[in-house]
Amino acid sequence: MKIVVDCRYLRVGRHDGISRYTAGIVTALARLHPIEVLVDDERQLAHLPEGLPWHKVSAPTSWREPFVARQVRRTGADVVFSPMQTMGTWGRDYRVVLTLHDLIYYRHPTPPRNLPAAVRLLWRAFHLAWWPQRVLLNRADAVVTVSETTRDLIARHRLTRRPVTVVPNAPDPVPDLTRAPRTRSLVYMGSFMPYKNVELPARAMARLPGWELHLMSPVTAEQRTRLTELAGEGTLVFHDGASDEVYRDVLRGATALVSGSRDEGFGLPLVEAMTLGTPLVVSDIPVFREVGGAAGAYVDPDDLDGYVAAVRELDDPRTWAERSAAARLRAAGYDWDTSAKTLLSLLVG
């Protein structure tokens, strides 16, 4: 069976969430079964195992996307897996499995800023109603998502008649799992989009003297100023796009990973932190409880008092040690090899 994977969502340079998911699942899947990949830019191959057969097709943001199957047919694929749900399927002669990561943008309609203006406009229009999503998903043979929480939401909104399989996200392998001496530091990894509610951990810093909050992702000058005003001078450390190595080094000595997000499809930073034994202080949303289990303290995203109390609770060495042990145990349940086996069973089934 010829399996072809759509790798056109790999970012040239640093990963975003879907790019990281694509690279992780492809790397593990290639160890289990011969695969070929689709790219629209040869530089995307830098994120993939060497030697994979590849085919260049048009970009997923191209006007040709609804008809991309005409290009994909030339690969001789028996089944195509895409880490997004928007891959064009008209005219295909192969099975196709599409991925829906989350339903965030139905409740928070601001599209990612890195998309072209025309695509941002279409993005908003797409999320005004459920029926366009149903059309896309029902044109697939099967659907993948990354969490039980999102699978339940797909069922609740009756988004597809196709079977939905959970293929979880996972952290990249970490060669050294040792921790550094613990400091009164907190870590946030993620974007600064409104639904991420970074204001919650920022406001908390004004009530946590002696603590630092490390913000790892790229940040605009406007965002930097606004968050500093909320937190107070000297409490925030802006890494403005930390490397994976720096990110892990900061996590090793942190008291907790934090998030005030109102919505997520999975929450990969939670697993990355737990892998290193770093507990969680995060918002009380279903997917965070699913992923974090006993490693986390879960607080209403509007409850500043509760958030501050949850951080201070980790000052107690015994509480922190219990949560750290729970974190490592929970993280052990997420790995790319397990996810790839689940996906392969679906693709060859």
226 shares its domain with 151:
no
Residue 123's pLDDT is 66
Which is more confident, 122 or 55? 55
State both tokens at 96. Answer: 């196709």
Q: Is the pLDDT of residue 54 over 80?
A: yes
Q: Is residue 175 part of a domain?
A: no
* Structural domains of the chain, count: 2
116: pLDDT strictly greater than 80:
no
SS3 content of the chain, % helix, strand, coil (to 5): 40, 15, 45
Is pLDDT at 131 greater than 70 in this prediction? yes
Determine the pLDDT at residue 113: 67
Task: Kindly report, residue by residue over 323-340, the tens digit of the pLDDT.
Answer: 999 999 999 999 999 999
Looking at the structure, do residues 327 and 341 belong to the same domain, yes or no?
A: no
Are both 210 and 271 inside the same structural domain?
A: yes
Shared domain for 98 and 202, answered yes or no, is no
User: Does residue 159 share a domain with residue 42?
Assistant: yes
Let me know whether 163 and 192 are in one domain: no
| E-strand stretches of the chain | 3-6, 35-39, 54-56, 79-81, 95-99, 142-145, 164-166, 185-188, 212-215, 236-238, 256-259, 280-283, 296-299
Whether 224 is in a domain gets the answer: yes
Residues 166 and 198 in one domain: no
With respect to residue 162, please indicate whether it lies within any of the assigned structural domains.
yes
- Kindly state whether residues 340 and 325 are assigned to the same domain: no
pLDDT at 262 over 80: yes
Sequence-distant contacts of 219-224: CB under 8 A, at least 24 apart: 219/192, 220/192, 223/192
- C-alpha dist (Å) from residue 59 to 39, 62, 180: 8, 5, 43
DSSP-based three-state secondary structure for 142: strand
Q: Are 99 and 145 in contact (CB under 8 A)?
A: yes
Q: In angstroms, rounded to a whole number, what is the distance separating the alpha carbons of residues 19 and 119?
A: 18
127 Cβ contact list (under 8 Å, min separation 6): 105, 106, 109
Residue 10 maps to a domain:
yes
Residue 176's CB: how many other CB atoms inside 10 A?
8
Predicted pLDDT at 114:
63
Q: What residues have CB less than 8 Å from 181, skipping those under 6 apart? A: 253
Say if residues 103 and 158 touch (Cβ distance below 8 Å).
Answer: no
DSSP one-letter string for 265-331: S--HHHHHHHHTT--EEEE--HHHHHHHGGGEEEE-TT-HHHHHHHHHHTTSHHHHHHHHHHHHHHH
In this structure, is residue 180 part of a structural domain?
A: no
Query: Which amino acid is present at 179?
Result: R
Q: Tell me whether residue 178 is in a domain.
A: no
Is there a domain that residue 177 lies in?
no
107 — pLDDT class (breaks 50, 70, 90): confident
| 112 and 31 assigned to the same domain | yes
Is residue 176 one of the residues assigned to a domain? no
> How much is the average pLDDT of 314-318?
96
Q: Is the same domain home to 133 and 276? A: no
Taking alpha carbons only, the member of 88, 82, 118 closest to residue 101 is 82
Rg of the chain in Å (alpha carbons): 21
* Residue 266 and residue 193 share a domain: yes
Strands 95-99 and 79-81: parallel
Residue 192 binned pLDDT confidence (cut-offs 50, 70, 90): very high
Range of the domain at 312: 185-331
The reported pLDDT for the residue numbered 106 is 83
Q: Rounding to the nearest 10 degrees, give the CA dihedral for residues 339, 345, 347, 349.
A: -160
Closest CA to 204 of 232, 240, 237, 238: 232
User: 122 and 269: one domain?
Assistant: no
- Given a cut of 90, is residue 280 above it in pLDDT? yes
* CATH number of 78's domain: 3.40.50.2000
